[in-house]
Amino acid sequence: MDYLELINNALEQYLPESGDIVSQAMKYSVRNGGKRIRPMLALEFCAACGSDPRKALPFACAVEMIHTYSLIHDDLPCMDDDDYRRGKPSCHKAYGEANALLAGDALLTLAFETAVKADLPAENIVRAVKELSYSAGILGMVGGQVLDLQNENKALTLKELEQIHNLKTGELIRVACVLGCIAAGADDEKIKAAEEYAKGVGLTFQIIDDILDVTSDAETLGKPIGSDAENQKTTYVSLLGIEKSEEVAAQLTEKAKAALEVFNEETDSLKELADKLQTRKK
């Protein structure tokens, strides 16, 4: 089963048919590719729990919509002020700041409309929406962004840095894994294991991001590099150095893979994904 094709086809079905400029901006940003890591995780965990991964598609698409909205807003001049995303002009450069702001708002709203379309028992949908709301909100992704902004140009400890990234980056990865389990009707033991896996791959993802900001180039990454050092931002590399950061990423990856032992179904693809996130070059 080609999960990427499933996800992209489903996203097209859920995106608005309207041709107005904000709808165009929504489609532009969603269609701008990316790895689709979060929706992939939702489908993979649904399958790992012994269920048809297609059951998790509405949840998977909802997470991707929230992720895309967060990128649109992150790129705005009032936030990171980035002109490019994945090698293309960021949404506000292509459609203007106001339309980009509205496109992000609309994607966030559409995410919940999409999640409740899942063909699942009502209690599963309610639980999923609760998890998604928490993850995207002030105690989750938004809260991580708040901490990130508050701590600009400040020296952070490793614990403080991990707290920011567990929220800002890790929460949407966590909820993607959890939603896959909820779609399959999994028990709490499997949901807890999915959260452990998500914590490992989420922090690994951020550590590798920090490394690539130093070692890669703009053409490979599709976005400017060196901005962390330029902005005097505390990163895993600035605290630990590249070699130690790579060691920590490897340790987290092994812990993530170990968490998968509670699943009875095949989890090789989840292990492979964890390895790919640790060794990625873009």
pLDDT per position as a tens digit, 149-180: 898 888 899 999 999 999 999 999 999 999 99
Q: What is the pLDDT of residue 224?
A: 59
Q: What is the pLDDT of residue 117?
A: 97
pLDDT digits 0-9 by tens, 237-249: 999 999 999 999 9
Give residue 220's pLDDT band: very low, low, confident or very high (50, 70, 90). Answer: low
Angle (CA) 33-249-1 rounded to 5° is 40
Structure tokens at 217: 């180039």
Strand, coil or helix: what is 260? helix
Q: Which of 68, 85, 44, 71 is nearest to 274 (CA)?
A: 44
Whether the per-residue pLDDT at 231 is higher than 70: the answer is no
Is the model more confident about 91 or about 280?
91
Rounded percentage of the chain residues whose pLDDT exceeds 90: 81
- Integer Cα distance of 136 and 148 in angstroms: 15
What mean pLDDT do residues 31-54 have? Answer: 95
Whether the per-residue pLDDT at 75 is higher than 70: the answer is yes
Q: What is the pLDDT of residue 219?
A: 61
Phi-psi region of 194 (alpha: psi -120 to 50; beta: other; left: phi over 0): alpha
Give residue 226's pLDDT band: very low, low, confident or very high (50, 70, 90). Answer: low
Whether the per-residue pLDDT at 86 is higher than 90: the answer is no
Q: Which of 82, 143, 83, 136 is nearest to 110 (CA)?
A: 136
Strand, coil or helix: what is 51? coil
Selecting from 1.10.600.10, 3.40.50.720, 3.90.25.10, 1.10.3720.10, what CATH number does the domain 3-279 have?
A: 1.10.600.10
pLDDT averaged over every residue in the chain: 93
* Residue found under tokens 């689709």: 36
Whether the per-residue pLDDT at 230 is higher than 70: the answer is no
Output the CA torsion 61→69→29→151 (10° steps).
-130
pLDDT digits 0-9 by tens, 21-31: 999 999 999 99
Give residue 217's pLDDT band: very low, low, confident or very high (50, 70, 90). Answer: low
Whether the per-residue pLDDT at 65 is higher than 90: the answer is yes
Q: How far is CA 2 from CA 160, 191, 209, in A?
A: 39, 24, 27
